[in-house]
Amino acid sequence: MASSGSCITPVRVASLVLILWALHESIGLSDRDAEIAGTVGLAALIASIVGFAFSAIAGSVFAYLRLDPVQAVHTLVVCSIAIQLYSVWKIVGVIRWQPLMPMIVAGAATAPLGVWVLRHVDSGMYATGLGLFLSAYGGYTLFRRENRVLPGSTFVDVIVGALGGLTGGLAGLPGPSVTIWCSLRGLDKLQQRAAYQPFILVMQVITLLCLQWQDTASTLALALSPSTPSGCANCADAGTTTLAVARTQAAQAAARVNFMMDCSTLASRCVT
């Protein structure tokens, strides 16, 4: 009987509280908000099983919903940070930060550029580009060969990290390039997660900071513009504006779902 009491753990209690809170907050949601919340919940469930793909799956559905690109990336980044915080905490003992530094530094340098492009790109071009990128990533994940192993390289680490930072700022997707590189190096599942999950977490935090900073900078520029009658009032308010792969079969299933969704998204964008 003593073992039955041990089933109640702080993590399970916290999970129950979060579920109840989410159900309470969902009362009275508009259809649009309910679709977004449902997308986040489904993507988080799949990501918790396979260890990745939250932003890829949720981003595909957001493209269907024609969500504003900046709003979509902001939502992806905030939710991804919450997921990755838990994931990184679970494997913190095996993470080696020193080998990750070239990727992290390179990604931190390119993430602001990705956010800037996100804020200035046409929404139609953004959706089409996102569909192409995710279709290519899903196709690779689905059809890749497991027996191909490449040696590690600091130079490639920098290139991969820079690409991850760019796609992270542009689409909230810093993980694809790093997960592909980790798989090509022949790392086991735990070693892969110890590499790409900390990288994703750091890039998402940097992307969120860049979104906030660029929002504030844009508001300040508008507030100080001579053509804005309420410039002084806007300037005063500007500072407060806006703020795993544990099972191979599960990972392949998520890749198939993601690949089909991305191809459908791309096809629908081309038709319209």
pLDDT in tens, 151-193: 878 899 999 999 999 999 988 889 888 888 888 888 888 888 8
Q: How far apart are the first and last CA of the chain?
A: 62
How far apart are the C-alpha atoms of 258 and 61, rounded to whole Å?
10
How far apart are the C-alpha atoms of 211 and 204, rounded to whole Å?
10
How far apart are the C-alpha atoms of 176 and 126, rounded to whole Å?
17
Task: State residue 200's pLDDT score.
Answer: 92
Higher confidence at residue 101 or residue 245?
A: 101
8 Cβ neighbours under 8 A, 6+ residues apart: none
Q: Which of 210, 230, 27 is nearest to 118 (CA)?
A: 210
Task: State residue 166's pLDDT score.
Answer: 93
Is residue 95 within 8 Å of 198, Cβ to Cβ? yes
Q: Is the pLDDT of residue 22 over 70?
A: no
pLDDT in tens, 100-147: 999 999 999 999 999 999 888 877 777 777 778 777 777 777 777 666
pLDDT-based confidence at 23, cuts 50/70/90?
low
Is residue 206 within 8 Å of 108, Cβ to Cβ? yes
Q: Which of 88, 163, 162, 103 is nearest to 133 (CA)?
A: 163
**What b/e sequence results for 23-51 when a residue is b if at least 16 CB atoms lie within 10 Å of its CB, and e otherwise?**
eeeeeeeeeeeebbeebbeebbebbebbb
Q: Is the pLDDT of residue 98 over 80?
A: yes
Local structure of residue 242 (DSSP, 8 states): -
Task: State residue 101's pLDDT score.
Answer: 95
Where does residue 148 rank: exposed (0-12), middle (13-18), buried (19+ CB within 10 A)? exposed
The predicted model scores a pTM of 0.69
CA distances from 124 to 21, 211, 269 (A): 35, 20, 8
Task: State residue 176's pLDDT score.
Answer: 85
Instruction: Give mean pLDDT, residues 1-11.
Output: 56
Is residue 88 within 8 Å of 197, Cβ to Cβ? yes
What is the residue-averaged pLDDT of the chain? 74
